[in-house]
Amino acid sequence: MIFSLAHADEYSDVSQLVRAGKLPEALTKADQHLAAKPRDPQMRFLKGVIQRDSGKTTDAIATFTRLTEDFPELPEPYNNLAVLYAGQSQFDKARTALEMAIRTNPSYATAHENLGDVYAKLASQAYNKALQLDASNAGVAPKLALIRELFSPTGAKNQRPTLPSAATPVATAKPTPALPGPVAGKPPAAAIAPPATSTPTAAIGQATPSVSTASAPSGSTVAPAAAQSAPPANANSAGGSNPKDAEAAVQAWAKAWAARDVKAYLASYGKDFNPPGSMSRANWEEERRARIASKSKITIKLDNLAVTVSGNAAVAKFRQDYKANGLSVSSRKTLDLVRVGDRWLIVKESTGA
């Protein structure tokens, strides 16, 4: 998906209007853009955020629902739907939306946490019902008290430090608060964004959201090319302590992915790699093969790649911009690697970290 500078300015203008609290003007500008480009996922997402901020929950639910129908491969609209449903105490619908978000992206950490919160609220409802049916059951009250403490204003969950917004699909996001709701959760994880614009994806149970703008960081694009497997580490880096060797392995992983060389791509993962969620390694590899093979062209861009090495372990953090078959998605990503012989191999992969 290619955005012109003029289009990027339109997203930025709408975002700035939202930040200034000029929601009617922002909605009008978004509608004008969508009149010419009705399928634009970024502006549709922004429109949903504006509707949410304006208190038009029903409209926001309709907007995000249509996004999930037109772009079922994107997890962020499902997460926002879950937040809106949770705000209406429709926890079964929130659970279903979050399960879809996780099925779409098993590494979506915010959706996993929000799902845990929704399960806790469902448990609270079940415990309340149990007490109504049998007030003499001494085992239920302590469980209910524990959940109430967890979500109380002074409970342990709400005392966790607030983290910055995890990602927007093509721009670096500033810390952004998320939707209020009955279930607590981390701040926003990701949004569908064009260059130089960021919009929040909601988490369950935070303050009123806002839209922030940020310049897209510079970085090299990894275009489809001859596949490479992770290169050998520098022999002079005793114990694998040279970050450049691990950085080269990350770049080779991205190049193999962009080249649609599934063999080299999967070879970048160590035998101790555990796929996110409950997926088995074999099923994960099958899913990756099918997804990569289905794309006619893949472009991967890594921005702000930072690698820290400690002995035979390394952690790589970066922003990943992914484009394939007209889809453009960006997210923060973290790879944990270990040195095996002369190679650095991925043993853990997480998004939104």
Q: 45-54, 64-73, 118-127, 141-150: lowest mean pLDDT where?
A: 141-150
Among the residues of 151-187, which ranges form H helices? none
Q: How far is CA 25 from CA 14, 30, 54, 96, 323, in A?
A: 8, 9, 12, 33, 31
Which residue ranges make up each domain of the chain?
A: 5-159, 219-351
pLDDT at residue 335 greater than cutoff 80 = yes
CATH superfamily of the 5-159 domain: Tetratricopeptide repeat domain (1.25.40.10)
Tokens read off for 140: 């239920």
Q: How far is CA 190 from CA 105, 199, 229, 265, in A?
A: 12, 8, 29, 25
pLDDT number for residue 325: 73
pLDDT tens profile 215-255: 233 333 444 433 334 444 343 344 446 789 999 999 999 99
3-state secondary structure of 350: strand
pLDDT number for residue 8: 57
pLDDT tens profile 140-155: 777 777 767 666 654 4
- Work out whether strand 298-310 and strand 343-351 pair parallel, antiparallel, or are unpaired: unpaired
pLDDT at residue 199 greater than cutoff 50 = no
Q: 328 or 24, which is more confident?
A: 24
- The residue-averaged pLDDT of 268-290 equals 85
Of all residues in the chain, what percent carry a pLDDT higher than 90?
Answer: 34
Q: How far is CA 244 from CA 42, 88, 91, 225, in A?
A: 35, 50, 47, 21
Q: 214 or 264, which is more confident?
A: 264
- Per-residue pLDDT band at 133 (split at 50, 70, 90): confident
pLDDT tens profile 68-115: 998 888 888 999 999 999 989 899 999 999 999 998 888 888 889 899
Rounded Cα gap, residues 135 and 113, in angstroms: 31
Tokens read off for 95: 């659970």
pLDDT number for residue 149: 67
pLDDT number for residue 324: 82
The DSSP-derived string for 65-93 is: HHHHHH-TT-SHHHHHHHHHHHHTT-HHH
- Per-residue pLDDT band at 168 (split at 50, 70, 90): very low
CATH architecture assignment, domain 219-351 = Roll (3.10)
pLDDT number for residue 204: 58
pLDDT at residue 24 greater than cutoff 90 = yes
pLDDT at residue 319 greater than cutoff 60 = yes
Largest CA distance in the chain: 70
Q: 287 or 211, which is more confident?
A: 287
Rounded Cα gap, residues 27 and 18, in angstroms: 9
pLDDT number for residue 147: 67
28: left (phi over 0), alpha (psi -120 to 50) or beta: alpha
Residue type, 16: Q
Rounded Cα gap, residues 7 and 10, in angstroms: 5
198: left (phi over 0), alpha (psi -120 to 50) or beta: beta
Residue pair 94/122 in contact by the 8 Å Cβ criterion: no
Domains 5-159 and 219-351 share a fold: no
Bridge partners for 318 per DSSP: 333
- The residue-averaged pLDDT of 289-310 equals 90
